[in-house]
């Protein structure tokens, strides 16, 4: 377990499984695209970038799977 910047990761969306890259780890509360996220050291979030669309999103580390 444990994701590092640049890792290939997978996550679930309403359209199915998405593959992308871990871009930035957040361990404090932050805002991203108008949403607030309560990240912490115990429950970090990652900004991820979709390989298919290039779109970025924030996901809990616990919801991501790495290769």
**What is residue 67's predicted lDDT score, i.e. its pLDDT?**
73
The model's pTM is: 0.91
**What is residue 1's predicted lDDT score, i.e. its pLDDT?**
56
Report whether 5 contacts 24 (CB < 8 A): yes
Question: What backbone torsions phi and psi does residue 49 show, to the nearest 5 degrees?
Answer: -120, 125
Within a 10 A sphere around the Cβ of 50, how many other Cβ atoms? 15
Provide the residue ranges of all domains of the chain, joining segments of one domain with +.
8-66
Strands 8-13 and 65-66 turn out to be antiparallel
Label residue 42 exposed, middle or buried (CB < 10 Å: 0-12, 13-18, 19+). exposed
pLDDT digits 0-9 by tens, 15-53:
899 999 999 999 999 999 999 999 999 999 999 999 999
């Amino acid at each position: 377990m444990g994701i590092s910047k640049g890792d290939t990761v997978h996550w679930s969306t309403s359209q199915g499984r998405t593959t992308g890259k871990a871009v930035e780890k957040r361990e404090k509360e932050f805002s991203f695209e108008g949403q607030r996220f309560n990240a912490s050291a115990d429950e970090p979030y990652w900004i991820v970038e979709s390989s298919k669309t290039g779109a970025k999103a924030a996901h809990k580390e616990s919801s991501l799977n790495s290769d």
